[in-house]
Chains A and B, each alone.
Chain A
């Protein structure tokens, strides 16, 4: 593949403001925006890299998007980058949410505001689901094969959304089995020389 220069953050300040900008667009959760900005607009990450990083951010304790911003920042500018991305993700949203708390202290129960929050909540739910649907295309390149991937995804969805199994158990059982299978498959590829 020809080595085209990959887009990446120009400086620590660029990281800070990029994460500030995307955090401020994230009503009802930031993940959908992170995917859109990092993968589709800025192209700092490919779709596959995003899923890999998201898997790590998800399995480690702590807020997922905070973990993810920390990881992306660290990759480009080390500890300084990690702290800049983290600060960008938290500083302005924190100030805004505190200001809102002060303003809405009395009126959050009024009809109009409650209705608007309800409507935005419904949209936010759709945004997150769409992020998953968009990333699903990357499964075609997965070493486990597309069919098994869809089966694992369906099992996970049922366990979490329908049966409401705690996340830890889903990660340990379905996730553990998938990792073991992927480990096996990676070994077979290597033997066949099909690994790139």
Chain B
């Protein structure tokens, strides 16, 4: 895929991510639908397949899932620069700066204020009140990830693997990397 990008387009790419940063409550992935609308449907800087595989790869690779943004930037740069990596690097840089700078600046300031005022009744109430919700959100995230592997009768081995993993990690001290390796092998040989 080859696209032509002017200086203004690169700037628009940066602005797009800057504007989504402060909306990304719950993680950058919550703004993925809007990124798809803009980058794929409207500007045609990325193919559908490139968009989807960026998310899948970032989730499978080690590190925070926000790195799918870096992959989007990489692919856009590759498309625009005729597969020359300096363009891809520029895409990564603009995308990551855009998505991270506003939200991390806000977090830095707000968290610092919260920590300095941690004895305030309102701050303590916020933390106590949010605790059960935050815990439920974690379990719900696990549930949603498991659901994305399908709910047909054929996907029961995957659900079983998810449930066994949850139980082992909750109740034993087994190292998570062993479980990931086991999951990878089971999938590689087509047993699940």
Q: Which residues of A contact B (CB under 8 A)?
A: 23-33, 36, 51-67, 70-71, 74-75, 79, 82, 86, 89-90, 92-94, 96-98, 100-101, 104, 108, 111-136, 138-139, 142-144, 148-150, 152-157, 160-161, 167-168, 170-171, 174-175, 178-183, 185-187, 190
**Complex CA–CA separation, A143 to B129 (angstroms):** 8
Q: B111 an interface residue at 8 Å Cβ cutoff?
A: yes
When C-beta atoms are compared, the residue in chain B nearest to A89 turns out to be: B64
Q: A126–B142 contact, CB under 8 A?
A: yes
- Residue from the list A23, A82, A187 in contact with B64, Cβ < 8 A: A23
B156-192 vs A, CB cutoff 8 Å, 1 = contact: the mask equals 0011011111111110000011011011111111101
Residues of B in contact with A, size category: 35 or more
**Complex CA–CA separation, A171 to B30 (angstroms):** 14
Q: B108–A174 contact, CB under 8 A?
A: no
Q: A139–B57 contact, CB under 8 A?
A: no
Supply 24 A–B pairs (Cβ within 8 Å), ascending by A: A25-B62, A27-B180, A36-B176, A54-B134, A58-B137, A60-B107, A66-B64, A86-B104, A93-B61, A97-B63, A97-B70, A104-B57, A108-B53, A113-B188, A117-B187, A121-B148, A122-B187, A127-B142, A135-B138, A144-B129, A149-B131, A153-B133, A179-B128, A181-B129
B120 to chain A, nearest CB (A): 10
Supposing A56-B110, A101-B57, A115-B189 touch, asked if A129 and B138 sit within 8 A by C-beta, the answer is yes
Query: Chain A interface mostly helix, strand, loop or mixed?
Result: helix
**Complex CA–CA separation, A150 to B132 (angstroms):** 7
A85 to chain B, nearest CB (A): 11
Q: A122–B70 contact, CB under 8 A?
A: no
A-B contact count (CB 8 A): 363
- Residue from the list B22, B71, B112, B133 in contact with A61, Cβ < 8 A: B22
Supposing A27-B60, A120-B184 touch, asked if A64 and B176 sit within 8 A by C-beta, the answer is no
Q: A183–B125 contact, CB under 8 A?
A: yes
